[in-house]
Amino acid sequence: MYAIIETGGKQYRVQEGDVICVEKLKAEAGEVVNFDHVLVLGEGEGAKVGTPYTGDVVEGKVVESGKGKKVVIFKYKAKKDYRKKQGHRQPYTAVEILTVGTAKAPKKEAPKAEAPKAEEVKAEEVKVSMSMKKDELLAIAKENGIDVDEKATKAAIIEAIENAGK
């Protein structure tokens, strides 16, 4: 059985026991990593194709992290005395695939936030800044029942709103 996984903006066809080199991951050698972006899982008629992902997990163990072969970039313009030599070594992480699609991806549940109190909601609504447009500031002042002259400057409007909030 094989799976097609997506990591680092690339897709890889993997089976159990394969060692693949992927874009650098934030994991140390020996750590277990889970690839939850599985596009296809299975083989032949029983293949499971995701839309876009199947929800399964491919588990792997980090073998090593390192840098690839050096690539030399040489820029040259004829008759202009322009030469520029530059090198690059792409970092990679070698991962050995342990299991293919045996477990479902753990769903991340967002912690339920308590409903904010009425006083807190009012304080959050009145957050104003100099980056706001004058029309927006006037609308906020009108909503809160603050009497402000329409010809006043932004600074004066902000000051009036902040004073009324205290």
Give pLDDT, residue 94.
96
Q: Where are the domains of the chain?
A: 2-104, 118-165
* Statement: residue 70 has pLDDT above 90: yes
Read off the tokens for 116: 């904010």
Give pLDDT, residue 110.
54
**Residues 6 or more apart in contact with residue 4 via CB below 8 angstroms:** 11, 12, 13, 14, 38, 39, 40
Give pLDDT, residue 136.
85
Read off the tokens for 15: 């089976």
The 10s digit of each residue's pLDDT in 111-164 is 555 655 544 444 445 577 777 888 888 888 888 888 888 888 888 888 888 888
Give pLDDT, residue 124.
46
E strand or H helix at 135, and its extent? helix 134-143
Give pLDDT, residue 21.
95
The 10s digit of each residue's pLDDT in 76-103 is 999 999 999 999 999 999 999 999 986 5
